Structure 1
């Protein structure tokens, strides 16, 4: 079947940190007819030009009805809802949706070490399911982006700017690929306008490769004369503790987070992308001055 740009797009997770930015990018392009699926208890209004449908996400029939006539489905649901995407995917298949982009947007799960971390079990399950469906003619695209750069800086992923504290994982020297939310939004848009190049595969995008120490140095430059509390943390130990907690069914608030830290910062986990699809997806990326400007824009007036 010949590919063409998808026009009718269903978006799930549009009120989340990433989903809101993806929605803005799709809207700004003026290329798509966008339908946002929301929970029956959620909001049914938003930016002009967007159709909102309230859906029972536990009902196959409700999902099928909402997805009928849609050409592509983009999911940006939070990690806790990743496994629930299976019903959504089944409904999309039944409704005749041509392309599915699941909520991936993170570390490289083609790396065997990362793929083995329990925190990614639900994503791996969805990936395997989509791979099986592709044999039956259902098209999909996985998007690996590394951690969210701007969101991560604002929310303490890399260090605690307000508290002037930092934990350097495995020395803090490992380069990892990272992307801004707006860059991910652009990648999604280009996937929808470049179906042949992105069909039934994973794509990798990034703004820049950076280390935790580099980010910390930029932050410390904005706090001259102030003392930072910096300590080193071994992610191998974090993984060991997390697996023990999972085995004992004693999962705490940081159990899964520590496994994500292992994937982002530990050498050998595919965190520095060796090949990317930036050119196909129209991603310019960032220079070091761009990165300095971003850090300054977030922390410079604090």
Structure 2
């Protein structure tokens, strides 16, 4: 790296700064204090942000508008809602490549990438989530690098949304355990996701003579993090500790994972959002499934100096969210 080449990424553009995940990225980046941050919002947005954040209104139907908003930024973090138009992500990536953005964090926040494991989440009926990484890969020819955050399911979201997701209805004290409820999967809190993003984007772009960590260690690869490798049974036990309950206070149902998967796919075919959740979570929790990437591929928590989290603390946050009205109300 020449003397005139920047050693760190400084200018960050964030799409989705008000969302559950995006807001945690923003908070962690602001706390780290190593970047200037621009949040891209729609023209109709009335969201407010801290004074240190630059807010740029963008017409996502206009490639020129997206390019103007991204010009001059070093890195783009994309967080999009599930209902975003299918052509939006590739158009955003193409716009970033066009104006010379150096790094992209695509809208992929899930399980192991096919570069580290034989499985890629490509069930077409559920949506091929790795298409977001494919979009980023397509920009490599333009000199763009990407880092995908492999974080598993979001913990508080998963147990707080309702029974069709990870099986838990906290308010109703009901749970559906898949098979015996003992299959462990990797999950992450939103807080950990934010801290991991701030940590990795604060690293030098390339290694110096002394070695050490650098952003290039994750060039065109997944950044693997996890708060907990945990089973449904362990989550239920954590809920008992937080709520002061026992199994006798809950309605506990057991369901084969494959049956749950098929049930979800049937509901999805009927246009029910809950079917999507059931099938997606069942596929991850199935015996021999895809949810434990820590054992096979390892995680990067220790490398980044991420502190170990307490399961019950995260569970308590999820309970508070539910008590505050969080969850699916369809």
TM-score (norm. length: structure 1): 0.89
CA positional deviation for 1:28: 1.0
SS of aligned partner of 2:273: coil
| Long gaps (5+) in structure 1 | none
The 10-residue stretch of structure 1 (2-11 or 219-228) with the greater mean CA deviation from structure 2: 219-228
Contact 2:106 2:136 (8 Å CA) reproduced: no
CA displacement at 1:224 relative to structure 2: 3.5
Partner of 1:134: 140
Bigger Cα displacement from structure 2, 116-125 vs 100-109: 116-125
| 8 A Cα contact 2:40 2:57, kept in partner | yes
1:201-226 Cα offsets, whole Å, 9 max, x none, are 11210012110001102213434465
Flag as ranges the 4+ runs of structure 1 deviating above 6 A. Answer: none
Deviation string, structure 1 residues 152-196 (Cα, Å, up to 9, x no partner): 344334411110100112321001111111110011112212321
Q: Distance in 2 between matches of 1:82 and 1:141?
A: 22
Counterparts in 2 of 1:137 and 1:154: CA distance versus 1, 3 Å: same
Q: Matches of 2:222 and 2:181 in 1, distance apart?
A: 28
Report the alpha carbon displacement of residue 300 of structure 1 after superposing the two structures with TM. Answer: 8.4
The answer (yes or no) to whether the contact 1:6–1:32 under 8 Å persists in 2 is: yes
How far apart, CA to CA, are the structure 2 residues paired with 1:162 and 1:182? 23
Which runs of 5 or more residues in structure 2 are unaligned? 204-214, 324-330
Match of 2:240 among 217, 220, 239: 220
In structure 2, the partner of 1:77 is 80
SS in 2 for 1:232: strand
Cα separation, partners in 2 of 1:180 and 1:119, compared to 1, 3 Å:
farther
Report what 2:211 is aligned to. Answer: none
Counterpart CA distance in 2 for 1:211 and 1:114 is 22
2:152 is equivalent to residue 146 of structure 1: yes
Matched residue of 2:262: which SS? helix
Could you tell me whether the CA contact under 8 Å between 1:147 and 1:264 is conserved in 2?
Answer: no
Is 1:100 matched up with 2:120? no
Q: Judging changes above 3 Å, is the alpha-carbon distance between structure 1 residues 230 and 171 closer, same or farther for their aligned structure 2 residues?
A: same
How many angstroms does 1:139 deviate by? 0.4
Give the counterpart of 1:186 among 187, 195, 201.
195
Q: Which residue of 2 aligns with 1:177?
A: 186
Number of the residue aligned with 2:273? 253
1:55 match: 58
How many residue pairs align between the two structures?
A: 297
Is 1:89 aligned to 2:111, yes or no?
no
Tell me if the contact between 1:3 and 1:196 (Cα under 8 Å) persists in the aligned partners.
no
Of the structure 1 ranges 131-140 and 199-208, higher mean CA displacement relative to structure 2 is found in 131-140
TM-score by length of 2: 0.82
In 2, the alpha carbon distance for the partners of 1:32 and 1:26 equals 7
Matches of 1:167 and 1:212 in 2, distance apart? 9
State whether residues 117 and 259 of structure 1, in contact with CA within 8 Å, keep that contact through their aligned partners in structure 2. Answer: no
For residues 61 and 296 of structure 1, do their structure 2 counterparts lie closer, same or farther at Cα, with a shift above 3 Å needed?
Answer: closer
Offset of residue 267 of structure 1 = 2.5
Provide the rounded CA distance (Å) in 2 between the counterparts of 1:163 and 1:106. Answer: 28
Match for residue 160 of structure 1? 169
Following TM superposition, by how much is the alpha carbon of 1:298 offset from its aligned partner in structure 2, in angstroms?
4.9
Preserved contact between residue 89 and residue 135 of structure 2 (Cα < 8 Å): no
Distance 2:317 2:94 in 1: 43
Partners in 2 of 1:72 and 1:178 — Cα distance?
A: 25
d(CA) in 2 for partners of 1:5, 1:124: 28
The verdict on how the C-alpha distance between 1:29 and 1:243 changes in structure 2, with shifts beyond 3 A counting, is same
Aligned-residue offset at 1:242: 4.4
CA drift at 1:104: 1.3
Quick one: distance in 1 between partners of 2:31 and 2:98? 30
**Gap change, CA 1:197 and 1:109, over 3 Å in 2:** closer
